[in-house]
Amino acid sequence: MKMTGAQALLECLKREHVDVVFGYPGGAVLTLYDELYKAKFPHILTGHEQGAVHAADGYARATGKVGVCFATSGPGVCNMVTGIATANMDSIPLVIISGQVATALIGRDSFQEADISGITTPITKHNYLIKDVKELPRVLKEAFFIAKTGRPGPVLVDIAKDVFDTEFFYTYPEEVQLRGYTGHYEGQVFDLDKAVAALEEARRPLFLTGGGVIAANVSPLLRQIVDVLQVPVITTLMGKGAVDDLYPYHLGMVGMHGSYAANMAVTECDLLVALGARFDDRVTGVVANFAPQAQIIHLDIDKVEINKIIHAHISVNGDLRWSLPLLLKKITASAVPFVNQFATWREHVTQRHIQHPFQTRQVPHTISPQKLFEEVRKRVPDDTIAVTDVGQHQMWTAQFFNLSIPRTFLSSGGLGTMGYGLPAAMGAKIGCPRQMVVLFTGDGSIMMNCQEFMTLTKYGIDIKVIVLHNNVLGMVNQWQRMFYKGHYSASILADNPDITKVSASMGVSGWKVSEPEELIPTLEEFLIAEGSGVLNVRIPEDENVYPMVPGGKRLDQMVWEGKTV
C-alpha cells in the first residue's frame, strides 16, 4: 500500500495497539499532525513537552503498556530530556517520536536543529535517526519491541521532516530481527537450585522487592512465594505495591527514609533475596556495611546490575517471568518446614515494626502529614492510583499510604524529578479511566508543571491533587536544618502564588484547609466533588521525614527526631 511517512507512522502505531499519544506540535512535525487531524487519532495536547513525556510515563507505569509521545525538533524534543531520563532511570517503556530538520539540513546548524540522538544516547535504551522513509516501519517495530522487552526503557525515534512527506510502499514487518538482542532472558536452573539451598539453610531470611517485580507483572507469583515461605519482606521505593503493604510480615520501605524495622532487618538477616532491585545508594547506605551478616541472592534481568554495587553470593540472571515460577515450584517441593524454621525471626522483626512505626509529630493546632495520609486512605477505593512528585511528601506517601495492588504507586525514583506528578497523574488517569487518581505534591513541585491544570480542564480529566503546603522546599529545607546549620538558602517559598487561584484560572477548583478540625469535612467534600480539584493543606514548615539515614552512615545509624536510634 502506497502512503506517506506520516501516514505510515500512524499505521505503525495502530499495529502496536497504541490508543493515545501525548504531544505538542511544531514545524518539523506539521505533516504528522496534519495526518493526526485527518485520521482523528487520539492525541492529548499538553501544556509543555515535558508534560507530554511525563504523561506518557504515567500512562506506561499505570497500564504496563508502552507510552508514546510526540515532539518537534530542537527545543521541542529537548524539553523532553528530563522526562526521558526519568523513564530511563526507572525502566519505563516509552517510544518518543521527534521531528528533525529535513535531511539536507541536518548538521548545518539549521533553525530548530538539535542532535537529539547524541543528546539522549546516555538516557535511552536505544535511539534512531530516520532519513529514509523505507526504514520507518522496521524502526518503529523495533522501537516498540526494544522498549517493552528485557529490562524496559525509553526508545527515541528521530525522523527527518522530509520523511513524513515522502511516499513509499508500506508494509509492516511481522517479526523483529536484531543482532545480539532477542528480548528473551532465561538463566541457569542450577543458580535457582543454589538459591533454594540457601533458603533451606537460612534462619533469618529477608526478601527485598524492587521495581523489576512490577515491571515484569509477576507480583501474584511473588505473593505466592512469600505466602509459602512466610518470610519477612522489605521494598524499595519503586517496588512498593509488589507485595501488599498490609501483609503481616511486610516491614515497609528500606533505605534512607525506610522503616526502622526494615533497616535493622537488613543489618541482622543471614540471607537477603533481592528481586528486580538495583541496590540504589538510597537503599544501601554505606555499601561496605550493607547486610553485613547476610549471604546475598540477586535475581535480575539485567546482568549489568548484578555485582555492580553489592556483591551477590548467588546470582540468577534472567527474566523474573522465567525465574519466579521455577522458584515457587522448587520451594513448594522442598521438604524443609520453612514456616517453622523462620518463626523466631518473623516474630522478632514484626514486633520491632510494631514498636517503631512510621510517624510524624502531633503538634497542637496543626495538621500532621501522617493524619492527612491516613484520612485520605480511609476515603478512597483500594485500587486508587497514588502519584507523587519528589520531596518530603513523596516519602510520606511511601510510608503512610498503604497499597495492596501493583501499578498503583507512581513516583520518580531514580532521577527524583520535581514536576513529574501532575502530568504523570494525567497519563495514569487516561490509561486507567475507571480508577481514582490522587496526586500528592508539594508547594514547590506543583509549580514546575502547573500548566497541565489547563490540560485537565481541556479534556475533562478527573484528578484529585493534594498539595502539602509548608512554604518551603521541604526536603532541601530539612537537610539545611539538619546539616547546614539552618542556613535556608533559596528554600523558602512563602511568596509563591496561591495554588488554588492558579488552578482556578485554568478551570480546576480549589479547596484550602489549615486547621485540624477542618481537615475531615473539607477532605470529604473535596474527594466527592465532580471533576478535578486541588486541596491545599497547610502543614508545619519544620516537619521532618523520619527515620533518616544521613549520608555516609550505615542503615542501622538512623536519626529520629534529632537522635540516633
Catalytic one of 7, 50, 112, 399: 112
Indicate the pLDDT class of residue 561, thresholds 50, 70 and 90: confident
Closest C-alpha among 303, 256, 203 to residue 482: 256
Model confidence at 106: pLDDT above 90: yes
The 10 Å Cβ neighbour count of residue 11 is 19
| Cell numbers linked to 291 | 547486610
Domains of the chain in start order, with CATH, are: 1-167 (3.40.50.970), 187-353 (3.40.50.1220), 367-544 (3.40.50.970)
Active site residue 111: yes
Catalytic one of 89, 264, 448, 475: 475
The label of the residue with cell 495520609 reads: 373
How does pLDDT run across 401-429, given as a tens digit for each residue? 999 999 999 999 999 999 999 999 999 99
How does pLDDT run across 157-198, given as a tens digit for each residue? 999 999 999 999 999 999 999 998 999 899 999 999 999 999
Long-range CB contacts for residues 359-366, cutoff 8 Å, separation at least 24: 359/546, 360/396, 360/543, 360/546, 361/540, 361/543, 363/540, 365/515, 365/516, 366/516, 366/538, 366/539, 366/540
Sheet holding 437-442, edge to edge: 409-410, 385-388, 437-442, 464-469, 533-538, 509-513
d(CA 169, CA 147): 26
Report CA Rg, the chain.
Answer: 24
Catalytic one of 16, 35, 49, 543: 49
Active site residue 355: no
Model confidence at 92: pLDDT above 70: yes
Active site residue 161: yes
Span 418-446, average pLDDT: 98
Closest C-alpha among 231, 235, 226 to residue 205: 231
| Cell numbers linked to 241 | 505495591
Model confidence at 538: pLDDT above 70: yes
Burial letters for 86-112: b for 16+ Cβ neighbours within 10 Å, e otherwise? bbbbbbbbbbbbbbbbbbebbeeeeeb
d(CA 277, CA 298): 8
Q: Give first-to-last CA distance, the chain, whole Å.
A: 70
Catalytic one of 148, 161, 240, 371: 161
Which amino acid, residue 529? Answer: A
Active site residue 112: yes
How much is the pTM? 0.97
- For residue 297, give Cα distances in angstroms to 205, 258, 289: 11, 21, 17
Q: What pLDDT does residue 391 have?
A: 97
Active site residue 200: no
The label of the residue with cell 533475596 reads: 273
Peptide bond into 152 cis (omega under 30): no
Burial letters for 18-52: b for 16+ Cβ neighbours within 10 Å, e otherwise? bebbbbbbbebbbbbbebbeeeebebbbbbbbbbb
Catalytic one of 38, 111, 186, 561: 111
DSSP string over 251-283? EEE-STT--HHHHHHHHH-SEEEEES----HHH
If you average pLDDT over every residue of the chain, what do you get? Answer: 97
Model confidence at 563: pLDDT above 70: no
Span 544-563, average pLDDT: 91
Closest C-alpha among 8, 10, 30, 29 to residue 20: 10
Indicate the pLDDT class of residue 562, thresholds 50, 70 and 90: low
Let me know: does 522 contact 227? Beta carbons within 8 Å. Answer: no
Q: Are strands 295-300 and 464-469 parallel, antiparallel or unpaired?
A: unpaired
Model confidence at 565: pLDDT above 80: no
How does pLDDT run across 260-305, given as a tens digit for each residue? 999 999 999 999 999 999 999 999 999 999 999 999 999 999 999 9
Q: What's the per-residue H, E or C state across 282-329?
A: HHHCCHHHCCCCCEEEEEECCHHHCCCCCCCCEEEECCHHHHHHHHHH
